[in-house]
Structure 1
Amino acid sequence: MKIKFYGTRGAIPVCDRGFLEFGGNTTSIKITRDNGRVAIIDAGTGIRNLGKDLIKEGFHQNELFIGFSHFHWDHIQGFPFFKCAYDSQMVINILAMGKDREIKNLEDIFREQMKAEYFPISLEKMGARCNFLKINENDLRINDATVRVIKQSHPGDSFGYRLEDNDKSLVVCTDIEHGESVNQDIVAFCKDADLLVHDGQYTKEELLTRRGWGHSSYDQAIEVAEQAGVKKLIITHHDPEHNDVFLSKMEKACQARFSNCMLAREGMEITI
């Protein structure tokens, strides 16, 4: 299984010379399974380049799943620029798994952001056929892989994903707030994962003034990895105020505590 990061930034995309190493696009992750099938988590601005790369690589899969952690702007705002969605031969499954999701109408979320007031092309005119799958289940089998989700603490809802395929396991827990101590349900969900991708938007000092904003600190991401016994940790959803110099310093500090840890960079690819 290969995981490639196309968006690593949280809240809002940034474009500045001080943000080139770790990237300025918002969250989008490509997953390529051993059988070659591709799936995506979230459609932040990073999905624009993801789509361009798929087309350049000769992507021929006629059905594509995009699983969403949640639907804040920074996780959906790239979808109107996703080239594969303009292919009339493509079927795109917009997936929102999880019991007790607060959203009422999944299709309306995407239709609204593409109203004429905001975007020149409506959802219906993109070309691909979109299936909007709001599934009130925490476990699914999709194309012979097991997908599980867990509800996370985040304003407006958020769900973490665990993909198990060919004896390998990937967990993505972004936009998650733990509180005073790390959530033990999340620790159990991440148990023994080959790769954990975890929100780490703030330092522990910053987190003190951002309670209720729905994110984690670097220390909390590491604590989850330690308690869950994961093999590798990638910290993502970088704050838009944290430039390359800051993030490089934080990465060294994180690696001093958990050696098999990195901060996500745009274009980074990990094989598990």
Structure 2
Amino acid sequence: MNSPVWNIKLYGGRGSIPVCEPGFQKYGGNTTCIYVDLLINDRSKMIVIFDAGTGIRRLAADIESGEIPQADFILLVFTHLHWDHIQGFPFFSPAYNPNQKIGIVYPQKDLHIDEVKDLFALQMQTQFFPVQLENMGCALNFLDYKEAEKLLSANGLVNFSYREHKHPGGAFSYRLEAAGKSIIICTDLEHGTSLDQKVVDFCKGADLLIHDAQYTDEEIALHRGWGHSSFNQAIETAEIANVKNLVLTHHDPSHNDVFLENMEKHCQARFPNCELAKEGLEFKI
């Protein structure tokens, strides 16, 4: 059996609300969506997608065109259910394919899977959307966290772990490890006035950390309790945790390309192996 290889592609890195104005094209305006493919024996049997922000529409087009290989099963894993992380789901075309199997995971133990299903159905009820959840057509299942752990383990080749972190309503960080390599998705996270040591511990030694960085230091002082991190907090986490590569994500809708270009240069001067999330940015680990 070949060693597993991570393929990661960002389809959305904007926070709060999509932006389609001039001056926001380099880094993109679509909200959070991250594609992760674990290649085993050169053929993926499962596509894993973290969050279904508006970027998932483009991801769906890449699946249909064959740019992303078709898979027997698509697993949608959610960091949380705020609107900017679920609003692309009704436009995810594989969900309308009767031959496609899709699983949805949100490991909030306070919610039964039927309650999670009701939350997805809510944004697609008649008053808000012309097609209701039960009429999408695919074989759609809502899975509990134990089922997700079993699926993502890939027959023991992958270690899948997660933890809840500070964000209004709660949100989850995810860590995937295989063949000695690890990726972490850690968005919509508020450390507080000092770093959350449990977050730092969760990120230790990661080959790739995708970390919330919505605000500057000045902005975050005005947005306590909003559930996000600063650029400096993300870099400090990566430094202390000895992370190899860092992607700064969840760009504020007011931050245009000029602002983000300048911020990226500033961040790279401190932590060279970092870059700001851009739509289409790919990693192979």
Question: Do they fold alike, i.e. is TM over 0.5?
Answer: yes
Is contact 1:62–1:89 with CA below 8 Å preserved after alignment?
no
Gaps of 5+ in 1: none
Shift in Å at residue 64 of structure 1?
1.1
Identity of aligned residues (%): 51
Q: Does the C-alpha gap of structure 1 residues 149 and 122 become closer, same or farther in structure 2, counting only changes over 3 Å?
A: same
Residue from 78, 82, 106 that aligns with 1:72: 82
After TM superposition, the score normalised by the length of structure 1 is: 0.95
Q: Tell me the residue number matched to 1:252.
A: 265
The question of 1:81 aligning with 2:91 is answered yes
- Secondary structure of the residue aligned to 2:144 is strand
Shift in Å at residue 34 of structure 1?
2.3
Shift in Å at residue 134 of structure 1?
3.1
The question of 1:106 aligning with 2:116 is answered yes
The question of 1:129 aligning with 2:139 is answered yes
Residue from 171, 176, 180 that aligns with 1:167: 180
After TM superposition, the score normalised by the length of structure 2 is: 0.91
Task: Provide the rounded CA distance (Å) in 2 between the counterparts of 1:111 and 1:158.
Answer: 20
Residue from 7, 20, 25 that aligns with 1:2: 7
Shift in Å at residue 266 of structure 1?
0.4
Is contact 2:105–2:148 with CA below 8 Å preserved after alignment?
no
Q: Tell me the residue number matched to 1:154.
A: 167
- Secondary structure of the residue aligned to 1:207 is helix
Shift in Å at residue 38 of structure 1?
2.0
Shift in Å at residue 137 of structure 1?
9.3
1:106-255 paired onto structure 2 within 5 Å: 106-135=116-145, 141-144=152-155, 145-255=158-268
Q: Tell me the residue number matched to 1:262.
A: 275
| Matched residues, number | 272
Task: Provide the rounded CA distance (Å) in 1 between the counterparts of 2:91 and 2:136.
Answer: 10
CA shift digits 1:106-137 (9 cap, x unpaired): 10111010001000011111111111123279
Question: What RMSD in Å do the two structures reach over aligned CA positions?
Answer: 1.8
CA shift digits 1:204-235 (9 cap, x unpaired): 10000000000000000001100100100000
Q: Does the C-alpha gap of structure 1 residues 226 and 98 become closer, same or farther in structure 2, counting only changes over 3 Å?
A: farther
Q: Does the C-alpha gap of structure 1 residues 103 and 250 become closer, same or farther in structure 2, counting only changes over 3 Å?
A: farther
- Secondary structure of the residue aligned to 1:105 is helix
